[in-house]
Amino acid sequence: MNFSSDNAFGASPEIIEAIARANADALGSYGADPLAAKVEERLKEIFETDLRAFLVSTGTAANAITLASLSPPWGTVFCHEVAHIAEDECGAPEFYGGGLKLHLLPGEQARIDPVALSAALLEAGARGVHQAQPAALSLTNLTEMGALYTAAQLSELCGIAHAKGMAVHLDGTRFANALVAGNESAAAISWQAGVDVLCLGATKNGALAAEVVIFFEPERQAARIAEFEFRRKRGGHLVSKGRLLSSQMDAYLTDDLWLRNARHANAMGQKVAAALAAHPEIDVLNEPQANMIFARIPLPVHRRLREAGAAYYLEPASQTEDGDGEAVMVRLVCAPTTPESDIDNFLAICAGEN
Amino acid sequence: MNFSSDNAFGASPEIIEAIARANADALGSYGADPLAAKVEERLKEIFETDLRAFLVSTGTAANAITLASLSPPWGTVFCHEVAHIAEDECGAPEFYGGGLKLHLLPGEQARIDPVALSAALLEAGARGVHQAQPAALSLTNLTEMGALYTAAQLSELCGIAHAKGMAVHLDGTRFANALVAGNESAAAISWQAGVDVLCLGATKNGALAAEVVIFFEPERQAARIAEFEFRRKRGGHLVSKGRLLSSQMDAYLTDDLWLRNARHANAMGQKVAAALAAHPEIDVLNEPQANMIFARIPLPVHRRLREAGAAYYLEPASQTEDGDGEAVMVRLVCAPTTPESDIDNFLAICAGEN
Amino acid sequence: MNFSSDNAFGASPEIIEAIARANADALGSYGADPLAAKVEERLKEIFETDLRAFLVSTGTAANAITLASLSPPWGTVFCHEVAHIAEDECGAPEFYGGGLKLHLLPGEQARIDPVALSAALLEAGARGVHQAQPAALSLTNLTEMGALYTAAQLSELCGIAHAKGMAVHLDGTRFANALVAGNESAAAISWQAGVDVLCLGATKNGALAAEVVIFFEPERQAARIAEFEFRRKRGGHLVSKGRLLSSQMDAYLTDDLWLRNARHANAMGQKVAAALAAHPEIDVLNEPQANMIFARIPLPVHRRLREAGAAYYLEPASQTEDGDGEAVMVRLVCAPTTPESDIDNFLAICAGEN
Amino acid sequence: MNFSSDNAFGASPEIIEAIARANADALGSYGADPLAAKVEERLKEIFETDLRAFLVSTGTAANAITLASLSPPWGTVFCHEVAHIAEDECGAPEFYGGGLKLHLLPGEQARIDPVALSAALLEAGARGVHQAQPAALSLTNLTEMGALYTAAQLSELCGIAHAKGMAVHLDGTRFANALVAGNESAAAISWQAGVDVLCLGATKNGALAAEVVIFFEPERQAARIAEFEFRRKRGGHLVSKGRLLSSQMDAYLTDDLWLRNARHANAMGQKVAAALAAHPEIDVLNEPQANMIFARIPLPVHRRLREAGAAYYLEPASQTEDGDGEAVMVRLVCAPTTPESDIDNFLAICAGEN
């Protein structure tokens, strides 16, 4: 019963098989393998548009190298105050970006509030060289609170950013979860809404370590793409045996593995959410639209779960296993490989049945 | 017949099996998996000393993050003028190191000439803040020209560096090839000779993407180790599903796979070297002690090889397939998975038999 | 009638005379002139303790180079949300600091709220390499809103910072104004309260371009001092004819010029503040304790002032000369050289007498 | 008798008077003062072309901020192996340039050898992202060895650089000395020869601290200019009371002060050079074309000079005051304010007359 993170588990069997299958021959190194080209073609189909795609092994690398290619060192990247790039990457965007700034914005369910964004941009950069200049907006879908942006919500935010001359980055670590949780196409919730660069994650949704950075409208973004490629190399992220990454991404996008994985994780998440919401003593703290649930769990229930070996993170507000003395705040994440039996077991313990 | 690089091939079967085997359970993320701990223990046995070991996925990352942890931004790293860190990493050391300098040194067979090092250090840093300060010596064994440093040669260079208060980094991308080519222990050609940090490569010797950075005397180097860990994270090189790296490295070091692989690659290299040296029209340009051969090949031979599909790099001095009109300078690298039949075929073509 | 900034005016005559006087002979370059040594000795007397002092020509350089010497690239500097280092230096701290982060804190009158600081530090850095680490607290006295920190207030904040292992930087661009506005010694509101490094400004208080960075307890801070000196040189801030800076600072600290200048600026500021507060239609928006007044001025008054040639900044909330249609928010700053007749004239216009 | 550096002395009286004169009124801050505009206009006359001019206080800042605006972080700047940017700035170009590389080139009299430049460029950047890319050529006139580039020599080098798509930076710390030593116009030895950006120094030729960075063809270089302005601010080099710099530069360019100063320094240098060359025991080591002389002086002469209080630098090859036991290698620099009596005295001591 491990709900600590979608990266606590291994990969889908298809991913492992693909790595093994790609191992056979001598292939071009450093991204020049045929599978990388195949991945790019497949992404064009999925997103129904022209694009350029670059593989890296971690989400932090994908985000940070991308942002450095969208913002000068004296630029400001606007993001949500609990965004992964702000909270969990130890300053990777600032490092790759030569000292750029993150400007933190509020918003319910970790969605950026458009009013707050507009207000922040009102004076941003107005004093010329005395101030950092607005350079990029960074969104995350699924959000860090497990919520979904609709295409309309994305469009509104992207529109505000573009009107200020800013680029838009979408951290899509859980893009598949967002995609299958909504009713809109991959194109609709990315470039059609105004996203310039999408960091599409696979690691948390069934791969071992593979992310793909997608530049839409590649001709318009040719200068950024060239920067990205140099920055990727200088960051040590141009893997020599590129097949390790391309084989994973190829399998991920084949036969809808990515969507199947996300659907399972979301279904498990929704099952947990519904059961916890129905529990008389447990409060669900977010609007769980996919595979992430934040909840306040009474200490007796929490202790029963821990005794049974359940793994999950306590939120910072609950610093110790004793929480506030009555309950703890927890984050539960379901993965593509989370067995339904674990869910049933977990919920039975919550209900006091085990 | 691919002699372009030791990374043109896939991985040893044991490596792929290890990745698959490690996929099963929920494990600690971000390097906290049991295989990572096992690798560290195994390295202590191999190197016969205490150490700390950190996994990353590329050699460029290993080298650059290490050098940034050994040198301040105003430091100078002394290295050979054809070192990988100088020639092939697009400034990764300068990027991670916040603008440090590389000072390029000459030396036969890509071994740093101790006299040149001493001369360079004579005045280095003497003018205080007006000058970059000597911070680290970076060695490469096997060298970029396929030659070996003996323990005595390493000791001499490390001694010069330490006398100046500098740290010593060893780029061990082909450390296994060097180890099996010589008669000295892993300890003898690393920490006993004065190496402070070894970047031990696996990618070019049978893994898919795995390198391990080894800090010897970890208590003395505690501050550098702490820096390294933060820099690795900020560089996006702390892989969440760390088992991808640890499983490869574990298999690499198990049952002497790394030594077996290197012995095969070296044996193939030596066979090529001997045959080419005996060829009346071919000049071998280096002292091939392991798996790398640099040779001058007459155009007719070169064309026969190309027609037969042989892949190898032309040296920069031979800018085109026509070389200087009479011959081309080439680099041939044998890999752990290079079949002996490829060697035989290649040599037969050279000899004009095919 | 120029109230736009304390740097809109030239320097005190004593400063210009000192520059001319120091011009005579051949002197040591790069900070090795006797006046620099004299300044350091004089500062020891003023601050009643041992210290090391380094001259630079701008406040941005002083702040940014200092912070880079107090924080690693993965560190967080905590400061007020309207601090000069956050709002007015175009990311200089992030640039010099290799991508460090500023964490913005609230607080009345631009004083950092100790409760907010403690809350921000509660979880800061707890997740190890996944997060930036708390490294320094940056205070500003006089604050950006013209308010004063008492020694007790500084001590409380410094205590919180030190308990977390952080260093304390004090931006003393207007330190002299704060000093003469309070009843406490220079020592009391700097090192005795826990300040590790003070950037003592002279430019805004009667010099042309001179700031001095003061490290207290220099033996304890030897490593930071060494870093500072290298970073100053690399930043291009080690002036060759150092006498330009040392002569200004020497004159500034001689015969209490710095205190006399600040007393005049503060007295002018207090006179303005009192008169505006008494004006029936003008609201004073801050607690003006020294030479800075923020006020809401009705449009008719504002227009009379502009017609008479009065110069001052509109606050960002008042984007245009029409403000909100009824009034504008303005910042008025008095300088050491602001003539009292300008004040009288300004106040008469406000009162409708001119 | 101080021949240690052209910055050992104070400024010309005209410079000090200009600083004092500019002190009077309230003026625009941060470069928006009328004297800065006047300087730009004057430079257009002198260089007979359109240009943009930006003031900074040190040569290191001028060079490093310029190079960062001409090269991406993955760029290579080609310069002479004894260039100030390589030897004397503690890595400032690498710092401002985000980790760019300097490629050191040989050449007699510290002039870059065109053949060596062409050879270095032959393969530069050919391997794409694996290599740093050629970005800029940095020249120095007067060279570090006191020699002159003619317009024809500059043109040849600039042509090679431009053919490779590189920008050309000219370190003009001693540009005035070069200008008056030759027979060619300021335009001829700058933009007409292909220089894109000239860092024109005043500090070593009679100012206290003032350098001006000149972008020729400003429309073509608009993007670089914008970068420069942000980088200058972030570097802490946008002086608030900009009149300090503009007044010096205005005086410097008025009534040919800069040319008169350089003519005096050169005349003194030539007098020293001629006398030393005629001395039977002294070898002049460079071709002194302006105000710098490198010479080998027998120990007895050296000791007489030291006893008489003569100040000059020993070259690195002469580490101690005993040199090689027979003689020392020294550098002698004459300044605009070097009195001819010092020269006479110095030469008399050399001749054994004093």
pLDDT tens, B126-152?
889 999 999 999 999 999 999 999 999
Q: What percent of chain D has pLDDT over 70?
A: 99
Q: Are strands A197-201 and A167-172 parallel, antiparallel or unpaired?
A: parallel
C160 and chain D in contact, CB less than 8 A: no
The answer to whether the beta carbons of residues A236 and B61 sit under 8 Å apart is: yes
The mean pLDDT value of chain A amounts to: 95
Q: What does the DSSP 8-state code read for residue D239? A: -
Nearby residues of C223 by Cβ (< 8 Å), 6 or more positions away: none
Cα distances (Å, whole numbers) of residue D18 to C16, C205, C243, D14, D254: 11, 21, 17, 6, 11
**Range(s) for CATH 3.90.1150.10 in chain D?**
258-350
Segments of chain B assigned E as strands: 51-56, 75-80, 101-105, 133-140, 167-172, 197-201, 211-216, 283-284, 292-298, 313-314, 327-333
Interchain pair C235, D24: CB under 8 A: no
pLDDT band at A324 (very low <50, low <70, confident <90, very high): confident
Q: Is the pLDDT of residue D354 over 70?
A: no
**Which residue among C87, C94, C127 places its CB closest to the CB of A94?**
C94
Kindly report the length of chain A.
Answer: 354
> How many other CB atoms sit within 10 Å of the CB of residue C120?
19
Measured between its terminal Cα atoms, the distance across chain D in Å is 14
Measured between its terminal Cα atoms, the distance across chain A in Å is 14
Q: What is the pLDDT of residues D210-237, one digit of tens each?
A: 999 999 999 999 999 999 999 999 999 9
Interface test with C, best of D57, D87, D100, D230 (most C CBs within 10 A): D57
Identify the closest residue of chain A to D100 by CA–CA distance: A234
Average pLDDT, stretch A97-111?
Answer: 98
- Neighbour-count burial of C307, counting CB atoms closer than 10 A to its CB (0-12 exposed, 13-18 middle, 19+ buried): exposed
CATH code of the region A13-257? 3.40.640.10
Q: Is the pLDDT of residue B31 over 80?
A: no
A31 or C141: which leads in pLDDT: C141
* Predicted pLDDT of residue B150: 98
Cα distances (Å, whole numbers) of residue D331 to A239, C235, D6, D279: 51, 27, 11, 16
Q: Is the pLDDT of residue C26 over 80?
A: no
Q: What percent of chain B has pLDDT over 90?
A: 89
The third-level CATH classification (topology) of the domain covering D258-350 is Aspartate Aminotransferase, domain 1 (3.90.1150)
D90 and chain B in contact, CB less than 8 A: yes
Average pLDDT, stretch D41-48?
Answer: 98
Identify the closest residue of chain B to D129 by CA–CA distance: B90
Query: Angle formed by the axes of helices A13-21 and B13-21, to 10°?
Result: 180
**Which residue among D98, D133, D233 places its CB closest to the CB of A130?**
D233
How far off is chain C from B234, nearest CA to CA, in Å? 8
Residue recorded with tokens 């942006």: A149
**Which residue among A122, A132, A319 places its CB closest to the CB of C91?**
A132
Cα distances (Å, whole numbers) of residue D17 to A235, B178, C17, D254: 52, 69, 10, 13
* Predicted pLDDT of residue A43: 98
| Contacts D28 to A, Cβ<8 Å | none
Cα distances (Å, whole numbers) of residue D218 to B88, D49, D171, D225, D226: 35, 10, 18, 8, 10
D74 and chain A in contact, CB less than 8 A: yes
* Predicted pLDDT of residue D108: 97
Q: What is the pLDDT of residues A117-135, one digit of tens each?
A: 999 999 899 889 999 999 9
Residue B142, preceding bond cis, omega within 30 degrees?
yes
| Contacts A243 to B, Cβ<8 Å | 10, 208
Q: Is the pLDDT of residue B24 over 90?
A: no
* Predicted pLDDT of residue D192: 98
From C14, C3, C44, select the one nearest C251 (Cα to Cα).
Answer: C14
The answer to whether the beta carbons of residues B240 and B30 sit under 8 Å apart is: yes
Nearby residues of B255 by Cβ (< 8 Å), 6 or more positions away: B14
- 3-class DSSP state for residue C101? strand
Average pLDDT, stretch C149-169?
Answer: 98
- Neighbour-count burial of C309, counting CB atoms closer than 10 A to its CB (0-12 exposed, 13-18 middle, 19+ buried): exposed
pLDDT band at B354 (very low <50, low <70, confident <90, very high): low
Average pLDDT, stretch B219-236?
Answer: 98
Interchain pair D233, C9: CB under 8 A: no
Q: Is the pLDDT of residue C343 over 70?
A: yes
Q: Is the pLDDT of residue B9 over 90?
A: no
A234 and chain D in contact, CB less than 8 A: yes
Neighbouring chains of C at 3+ CB pairs within 8 Å? Answer: A, B, D
Q: Is the pLDDT of residue A31 over 90?
A: no
Interchain pair C19, D19: CB under 8 A: yes
* Predicted pLDDT of residue D341: 94
Q: Is the pLDDT of residue A354 over 80?
A: no
Identify the closest residue of chain B to C125 by CA–CA distance: B230
| Contacts D230 to A, Cβ<8 Å | 72-74, 129, 133
B73 and chain D in contact, CB less than 8 A: yes
CATH code of the region C13-256? 3.40.640.10
Q: What percent of chain A has pLDDT over 70?
A: 100
* Predicted pLDDT of residue C28: 77
pTM score, two decimals? 0.97
Q: What is the pLDDT of residues D270-326, one digit of tens each?
A: 999 999 999 999 999 999 999 999 999 999 999 999 999 999 999 877 778 888 889
C84 and chain D in contact, CB less than 8 A: no
Measured between alpha carbons, how far is C115 from C133 in angstroms, rounded to an integer? 19
B99 and chain D in contact, CB less than 8 A: yes
Q: What is the pLDDT of residues A250-267, one digit of tens each?
A: 999 999 999 999 999 999
* Predicted pLDDT of residue B312: 93
| Contacts C99 to A, Cβ<8 Å | 91, 94-100
| Contacts D99 to A, Cβ<8 Å | 234
* Predicted pLDDT of residue B131: 95
D126 and chain B in contact, CB less than 8 A: yes
State ipTM: 0.96
pLDDT band at C175 (very low <50, low <70, confident <90, very high): very high
**Range(s) for CATH 3.40.640.10 in chain C?**
13-256
Residue recorded with tokens 């002036």: C239
**A238-267 residues touching B, CB cutoff 8 A:** 238-241, 243-244
Interchain pair C238, D58: CB under 8 A: yes
Q: What is the pLDDT of residues C54-64, one digit of tens each?
A: 999 999 999 99
How far off is chain C from D123, nearest CA to CA, in Å? 31
Q: How far is CA B223 from the centre of its chain?
A: 25
**Which residue among B98, B129, B133 places its CB closest to the CB of C98?**
B98
Measured between alpha carbons, how far is C215 from C219 in angstroms, rounded to an integer? 9
Nearby residues of C122 by Cβ (< 8 Å), 6 or more positions away: A319
Interchain pair D230, A130: CB under 8 A: no
* Predicted pLDDT of residue C194: 98
Interface test with D, best of C12, C19, C341 (most D CBs within 10 A): C19
Task: Order across the sheet with A51-56: list the strands.
Answer: A51-56, A211-216, A197-201, A167-172, A133-140, A75-80, A101-105
DSSP H or E segment with residue B5 = none
Measured between alpha carbons, how far is C255 from C182 in angstroms, rounded to an integer? 20
Interchain pair A129, D74: CB under 8 A: no
Average pLDDT, stretch B321-333?
Answer: 91
From A8, A39, A7, A9, select the one nearest A242 (Cα to Cα).
Answer: A39
Measured between alpha carbons, how far is C5 from B32 in angstroms, rounded to an integer? 55
D92 and chain C in contact, CB less than 8 A: yes
D127 and chain A in contact, CB less than 8 A: no
**Range(s) for CATH 3.40.640.10 in chain B?**
13-257
Task: Order across the sheet with C197-201: list the strands.
Answer: C51-56, C211-216, C197-201, C167-172, C133-140, C75-80, C101-105
How many inter-chain contacts (A to B, CB under 8 Å) are there? 150
Task: Order across the sheet with D283-284: list the strands.
Answer: D283-284, D292-298, D327-333, D313-314
Q: Is the pLDDT of residue D121 over 70?
A: yes
Tokens of D74: 């993955």
DSSP H or E segment with residue C156 = helix C151-163
